[in-house]
Chains A and B, each alone.
Chain A
């Protein structure tokens, strides 16, 4: 039985996609929005490393500037103009607002 040749590129590509899946799941379940934005920046760095291994140099230059730099700064500006916390259930949100708890009745 012959073992076929597995290159280092394929192993590294599988490793970076594993980083991307773990960071995407942590972005989904985080309720503090600044931490979620930093996790998405880490996921963008994993995508940049994967694009280098796939021999696409134009895309690396475009994606480092846009994906890692501009999206993170854009979302941080939006959070600074609006609010920072995401509430899971409706009761917590109403309690934090302290208004119109019973006006829906």
Chain B
């Protein structure tokens, strides 16, 4: 009894020390940000010079040295001006998907799951929305260089429709159609390989022709005269496809939707399969 009372006093003292330390940390951090001039209360009246530079030159048809041929400034900074950051972000996401495989290492799959989900009403409505949600996701990914959206946003909306199918239609819905972990992992790696191929294609072509290109280059520059072009002539109509942005968005959509589907199928398995397949027993 005496030991438990001593333990309770030690717990309360430790909590008070943690609370005081956390509040001191937050107060120091907040006052450092306030007095350094980064935040102004109320907000500043004009944009900063770097933001004004990006907004002025991304879609400027009179000065084509610095443009990226897309009116959507956020996607063009993500894939053209700061493209290597996005390649690293996609590879960090790949490590999380590999963590999913650690749970189901020796799991063989099988068609012993029946498609038992919720009631008849829920199943009929889910089958209707399973047609419309992937179409919206593909539209968000294809129009990524013209309207807000892009590859990652479309891929996560597709994964939401897969999650809905797992809960309302049962896990047998995917096991009957043979969506094994090898096929989903293969689709994910195919998307990553397309992104890597587009990234290094222009330096290699420039090497054989005597020019100098750089990694993730999109448009023609005066100091490295290679580019992907920006319009495509189809029966007299000109279609704007913004260089490599359209293909990069489609590859990212494929990679993200396959990876997140694999992550949620691995979580939805029953307990005995995870215990036998993952394993701390070997």
Contact = CB atoms under 8 A, between A and B. Distances in A.
Interface string A70-92: 10011001100100000001110
Nearest to A90: B7
A77 B160 contact: no
6 nearest CB pairs, A to B: A57-B148, A65-B156, A61-B153, A77-B267, A58-B148, A69-B160
Contacts of B8: 89
B163 A81 contact: no
12 contacts: A58-B75, A58-B148, A61-B140, A61-B153, A62-B153, A69-B160, A70-B156, A70-B160, A70-B260, A81-B274, A91-B4, A105-B3
A87 to B, nearest CB: 13
Contact of B156 (A62, A73, A74): A62
B157 interface: yes
A14 interface: no
A70 B159 contact: yes
B205 interface: no
Interface residues of B, number: 24
B153 A74 contact: no
A53 interface: no
Given A62-B152, A65-B159, A77-B264, 5 more contacts: A70-B156, A74-B267, A81-B267, A81-B274, A105-B3
B157 A65 contact: yes
B213 interface: no
Interface residues of A, number: 18
A70 B256 CA distance: 13
B150 interface: yes
Given A77-B267, A77-B268, A61 B3 contact: no
Contacts of B156: 62, 65-66, 70
Contacts of A69: 160, 163
A58 B3 contact: no
A58 B150 contact: yes
Contacts of B160: 65, 69-70
B271 interface: yes
A65 B153 contact: yes
B185 interface: no
Contacts of A91: 4
Contacts of B259: none
Contacts of A70: 156, 159-160, 163, 260
Contacts of A90: 4, 7, 11
Nearest to A91: B4
Contacts of B260: 70
Given A73-B264, A89-B8, A61 B149 contact: yes
Interface string B143-169: 000001110110011011001000000
A103 to B, nearest CB: 13
B74 interface: yes
Contacts of A77: 264, 267-268
A29 B275 CA distance: 32
Interface string B70-114: 000011000000000000000000000000000000000000000
Contacts of A74: 267
Interface in B265-279: 267-268, 271, 274
Interface in A12-70: 57-58, 61-62, 65-66, 69-70
A62 B7 CA distance: 46
